A and B are shown apart, each in its own frame.
Chain A
């Protein structure tokens, strides 16, 4: 839970894109929110509401026209070592094995070989892929591929983990399994997480707070605080409190998509 310290501050961020008619399209307008230290924050919203854009801005892959993102008192001006992204479509290098993919960012940072392998193995074990180090991405199922994506992000030991619909491409069954595992990993080694999703149950199950974006232009519509106890286990999904919260988010999203 947030201990009051603000790790990430998104300050009236506005993002414009050129549109097809030669004008501009406002993807995000005046978006402001904080993420606390060790908080798990989900961002949900109709498609086109700028979730991916917002996450890319947080990751330093895209820059706002107005406003700023501040992490630990420093303005984000590009990708940084304290952050790591887990991509929706995995973004694995098909010519590298599981191990090769996980050590990739460590190689970029010139971490020594022994240390590199140790950290990679640790991350791979953490996501339950021990024994699959030498497999290539195309030999793995989608769920396993995203475990690799997660291990790669964990291996750089980020303080802020940015995830863009990381389980969106997976089937429902695999998705819940990975949600459980993600929470287990997070309980053991707390990080600040910004998690983009379009799945309401997923947002509620994982998060301390759920930020609801509205579209055209993307603005913060509402923030729902999830007061469910942790650690959260699978059974939680079948409780009335859980259902109420999901229902609440659902109704809000209903009004937005109409």
Chain B
């Protein structure tokens, strides 16, 4: 509680309503978010069918394009390639970020050595590096993986660092008092306590990784899903572009929310 909204939530006498009105207002009360999105999609469909905007395809056309895309094996191969790049790149980022984040949080020496760069790049537009990555890593598979890694690395490192820094020192003292050694403290107190933060970081890292992978494909080597996007965009086939964007969106949102759900579960358990 304790919020502003409650102030006006009081005192609105309920008028008698027809059954339809009651159903609509009931649904609105219960699922306002879904209804807003549904409403936007309907408006979109209408605008698309009526061709109100020159380049706005209707939802139906986008779905058709999506079905066409899914029937083509080369599109599946592109997805396979992109997801593999994202997976490998994020895994490298998480591995490196875990080591760096945990050690930076607990050692002032490590923090002195690396903290500056993490600070600088966590909110820096790493996208600016993409052409540089192309130059350094060539135009192949490794360049895209490197792009994903750079995109995902800093969020995960910062979240890990923050999670470990915020571990309640009393818990560590408690563990010590029961005879836990350095290693036991790390594995039984510090890392479990920091796990929700790390999982949140992982969710963000995957989101950025997808973004980085596609950007890399668009700018460096025109392969995978990013390549398809560039191709259809250049050919002004906006229904295909929208279909691909929706696929990317769905995959990114599903991946991120799965990870976030895992994080919430841990967090709940720790409360």
Contact = CB atoms under 8 A, between A and B. Distances in A.
B10 interface: yes
A167 interface: no
A224 to B, nearest CB: 33
Interface residues of B, number: 2
A63 B8 CA distance: 12
Contacts of B11: 63
Chain A at the B interface: SS class: loop
Chain B at the A interface: SS class: loop
Interface in A39-76: 62-63
Nearest to B7: A61
A62 B11 CA distance: 9
Interface string B183-219: 0000000000000000000000000000000000000
A21 to B, nearest CB: 18
A63 B10 CA distance: 9
Interface string B1-29: 00000000011000000000000000000
A63 B11 CA distance: 8
Nearest to A63: B11
B150 to A, nearest CB: 40
Contacts of A63: 10-11
Contacts of B10: 62-63
B46 to A, nearest CB: 38
B54 to A, nearest CB: 50
Contacts of A62: 10
A129 to B, nearest CB: 28
B11 to A, nearest CB: 6
A217 B122 CA distance: 56
B2 to A, nearest CB: 11
Q: Which 3 A-B pairs have the closest CB atoms?
A: A63-B11, A63-B10, A62-B10
3 contacts: A62-B10, A63-B10, A63-B11
Interface of B: 10-11
